[in-house]
Amino acid sequence: MRQTELLISLKNLKNNLQIIKSKTSSDIQAVIKANAYGLGYEEVVECIENDVESFAVITLNEAISLRKHTKKPITLLQGVHEISDYDYIEKYNLDFVVHTHWQLENLSKFHLNQSRIWFKLNTGMNRLGFDQKDFGDVYEKLKSLKAKDLIIMSHLAASSEPENKLNNAQIKLFNEITAGTINKKSLANSGAIFNFPNAHFDIVRSGIAIYGGKYLENGLKPVSKLRSKIISIRKVKKGECIGYDGAWIADKDCRICYAPIGYADGIPYFSSCRKININGKQFLTVGKVNMDLIAINLENDNSIKVGDWVEFWGFEDDLTKFSKNFDTISYQLMTNLSGRVEKNYLE
């Protein structure tokens, strides 16, 4: 079998839940959209279910599959994408966001007594959500539905940047708009759990922190490790070129190794050198990433053998720092991994 795998540490996943719990007394909603940020939602849910109040996903298909694995509340973070989706919300007892007017059409015709409605406000991100001027009307309309509960939410645009003035402006506006309401409230994503305790309110919505993809300075641990076993080593002479389009030319004699992983596995496309670890030593890729292979320059290091692991990121690495090497962010590296990469879970 091809030895290209994502290892997932359930122990580190549990650790991260404990860290998050230690930072807040609010309920925790685990955001497990995009297959739990690429780590496999079934195993993640089984591991953390007892530590969280609810789960959140984006698509109805995600929610329906997830319903087989948990009885806890499941929130559709973008709400319905067409009105007929409310039939499935009824059938599967889902919670849902309403962020725009058309989602209210015919809402009173559905039986929502098993659903919590998440009323989403725009407080400055200007992405999804009702503006302040619409709050009163929409609030009255939503209250009149016989839903199980009505939660008021918004989303912070810059919670990973403690100095960014947008944060306090959004928190202030959220407080202003919701003043006098007795409803549960939710504003914080992972960044705000650590950077803005005054934004925790009743339910915090955590994604990347659970998976150890960011904010490691708070005691979170990386949950995943991506590695691929070397299948070939070739000696190359000075002046010879490597790979597609002859894009890289050896400036001295060297050894080039190949690992069976490429952009079809979710490695972001690159055509210049990227840093990669083998046996704890750092090397550089050469040439362009291929669909199924990556070439790495071992220079004159004779210690690396076929069968050694090329490590992209590991349990000791800060994925946020690593991602800069690939001109991307940890979120993308994790969620980009394709189904072809085998996932193996460690206790």
Considering the candidates 33, 185, 225, 288, report the single residue annotated as catalytic: 33
Q: How far is the CB of 69 from ligand PLP (least distance, A)?
A: 19
Q: How far is the CB of 207 from ligand PLP (least distance, A)?
A: 2
Q: Give the DSSP per-residue string, 157-219.
A: S-TT-TT-HHHHHHHHHHHHHHTT--SEEE---HHHHHH-GGG--SEEEESTTTTTSS-GGGT
By beta-carbon proximity to ligand PLP, the closer residue of 36 and 298 is: 36
By beta-carbon proximity to ligand PLP, the closer residue of 120 and 274 is: 120
Considering the candidates 21, 172, 235, 244, report the single residue annotated as catalytic: 244
H-run or E-run covering 4: strand 4-9
Q: How far is the CB of 331 from ligand PLP (least distance, A)?
A: 7
Under a CB-based contact definition with an 8 Å cutoff, are residues 300 and 235 in contact?
no
Say whether 146 is catalytic.
Answer: no
Say whether 33 is catalytic.
Answer: yes
SS3 65: helix
Q: How far is the CB of 234 from ligand PLP (least distance, A)?
A: 41
Residues that bind ligand PLP (CB under 6 A): 31, 33, 77, 155, 189-191, 205-209
Q: How far is the CB of 199 from ligand PLP (least distance, A)?
A: 12
Specify which residues 226 forms β-bridges with: 6, 313
By beta-carbon proximity to ligand PLP, the closer residue of 290 and 336 is: 336
Q: How far apart are CA 273 and CA 284, in angstroms?
A: 6
CA nearest neighbour of 120 among 177, 68, 161, 158: 177
By beta-carbon proximity to ligand PLP, the closer residue of 7 and 329 is: 329
Under a CB-based contact definition with an 8 Å cutoff, are residues 197 and 21 in contact?
no
Q: Which residues fall within 8 angstroms of residue 206, CB to CB, at 6 or more apart?
A: 20, 28, 29, 30, 31, 189, 190, 193
| CB closest to ligand PLP, residue no | 207
By beta-carbon proximity to ligand PLP, the closer residue of 56 and 256 is: 56
Which residues are catalytically annotated?
33, 244
